[in-house]
Amino acid sequence: MGNIFTTILVQPLTNGLILFYKYLGQNLGVAIILFSIFLIFVLRPLTKPYLESMKKIKDIGPQVEKLKKKFGSDKLKFSQAQAELYKQNKINPTAGCLPYILQFLVLIALFQVFTVALSEQEITSGKLNQLLYAPLKFSDGQALNTKFIYMNISKPDTFNIPGISFGFPGLFLILATFAQFLSVKITTPYIKAEEKIAKKTKGNL
C-alpha cells in the first residue's frame, strides 16, 4: 500500500516541486509557494460541486422545514418528499465526499514531499533523488537552495531573545497560524451545515 501511495502521489508531487524549483529561480521557498498555489488551482474544481451542493441545501432549508411540519412523525413520507425536493433542485447530499478524501490524500503526500525535500543533506545519495524521474535528478555535488528571505526553511522558523532559553515563533509561523485561523472561519459554516444534514438524514432512517 505504501509503495502504491508513493508511486501514485508522493513521487509525482515530488517531481512537480523540483520542476518548479529548477525552472523558477532554484529557490526551494519560492518553489514551495508557487507549487502550492498551482495545486490549489488544480484541486479547486474538486471542491466546487460540494460547495454548490451545500449552498443549494441551505437555500431550500425553509422548504425542508415545511415538509417536516407537514409529515410530522411520518419519517418515511418525509424522507421520500425530501428526496424528491432534492431531485427537483438537482442536489446530491453526498457530493464532494470523494473529492475531499482525494484532497486529504494529496495533503498527506505533500507533507511527505516537503519533509523529504527539507531534510536532505546529501541529495544524490538521499531519498529525494531516488524519487525523481531521470531528467530531474540532481548530479553529484548539487544542493537545494533552502534560503528564503531571512531564514533557512530547512530549520525551524524561530528567533531568540538574549537571556531567554527558548525560541519565539518567527514571522512565517505567525502568518501560517493566522491563515489557518481564517481557513477555519471560512469553512466552519459549511462543516456545520454538513453535520446538520447528516444528523437529519440519520434521524429519518
Cell of 165: 532559553
- Domain housing 82: 2-204
3-state helix, strand, coil in the chain (%, to 5): 70, 5, 25
How many folded domains does the chain comprise? 1
Per residue in 9-55, pLDDT (tens digit) is 999 999 999 999 999 888 888 898 899 889 888 888 877 777 777 78
Per residue in 154-198, pLDDT (tens digit) is 766 555 556 655 555 555 555 556 666 665 565 555 555 555 555
Calculate mean pLDDT across residues 1-12: 83
Q: Read off the DSSP letter of residue 137.
A: P
Calculate mean pLDDT across residues 141-153: 77
Confidence band of 205 (pLDDT split at 50, 70, 90): very low
Per residue in 56-75, pLDDT (tens digit) is 888 888 888 888 888 888 88
Shortest CA distance to 114 belongs to which of 176, 65, 58?
176
